[in-house]
Amino acid sequence: MTSRILHITGARPNFPKAAPVMRALDALQVTQSLVHTGQHYDDKLSDIFFRQLSLRKPDLSLGVGSGSHATQTAAVMVALETVFLEQQPSLVVVYGDVNSTLAAALVASKLGIPLAHVEAGLRSFDRGMPEELNRIMTDAVSDLLFTTSADANVHLGREGVAEEKIHFVGNPMIDTLLQSRDRFDASELLAELKLAPGDPYLVATLHRPANVDDPAELAQLVAALIECSAEAPIVLPMHPRGAQAFAATGILNEPRIHIVEPQGYLEFMGLVSGSLGVVTDSGGVQEETTMLGVPCFTLRPNTERPVTITDGTNTLVTAENVAATLRDRLTRNQTENRTPPLWDGRAGERIARILSEWLEKQ
């Protein structure tokens, strides 16, 4: 029987990580299929990524949609169990820390199917974050763990993961950034916002439940964004899950905060790369700004990506100090553009080589 890899993606952060791995596996002539769970189903959060990243169309789309963490995870598990039993893959590969990642990991583990986790070992040490629980549980049942930074190896070792399972390969999302950089383009959006080439602006992204689900917390953050907008206009792509809550704060009436719909990968990265800085609560944006040398201000008490602080451009901030911190950073006009180890655009190739060799040994 031919060995076959089954890749599971579900949400926007998965696609830039999967694209270089699948491309490198194709070059090695490894048989593979792609399952998209449909955890993110809006075009700008899902389908456009397949077009812009030259990621093959999913061989199977499950269309599970949104819901609570339990509802969504359960729906993915039920659907994937049928898929795994029918297709009998030699190896399942999951990416990141979304609900689809955990669901696939649990189903594969219970069916005795080997599992590989790309972006393993990241830890915020905040179990109040759903993503932290997804990361811990996925790593616990994985057979191959691919890490993006040296600290992730340390975390896995402390949790008792055997050293031979852990592979420090670098960051496949950075592969995608470097491969796509010449195509970044936010000119159409900026023209619509009447921002001329070279005009200063900031970017903001906020979507984490801890920030947007509590009206009082969100009101504080919006007040902080308004204060930041005194430095430069802010472009805020609005994640669907936060749109109604944001509208209730009155932010739509702020003349220096431009609310826009979610952007495609190339448009959003063009927006980020041309900005003075980014205020965010996203994990991936911390990495992308680090690679682009753009100051990043992360509205969270912790990060599972500390390398973006030690070797990058990221700073943890609060609603109370973000405006002052941003102002100070922009005044200093300092660029700390150090590249973390192995963030060199070859992570996908390293992962593919290890996967191919592992399959041959089986």
**Cβ atoms of 314 and 338 closer than 8 Å:** no
The question of whether 207 is a catalytic residue gets the answer yes
**Cβ atoms of 30 and 352 closer than 8 Å:** yes
Spatial separation of the C-alpha atoms in residues 221 and 6, rounded to whole Å? 40
Closest CA to 102 of 71, 66, 76, 68: 76
Q: What would the two tokens of residue 296 be?
A: 């990043």
Spatial separation of the C-alpha atoms in residues 299 and 319, rounded to whole Å? 7
Q: How many residues does the chain have?
A: 362
**Cβ atoms of 296 and 313 closer than 8 Å:** yes
Closest CA to 176 of 157, 137, 148, 141: 148
Which residue among the candidates 36, 167, 207, 258 is catalytic per the annotation?
Answer: 207
Spatial separation of the C-alpha atoms in residues 22 and 20, rounded to whole Å? 6
Spatial separation of the C-alpha atoms in residues 139 and 119, rounded to whole Å? 10
Query: Would you name the residues annotated as active-site residues?
Result: 207
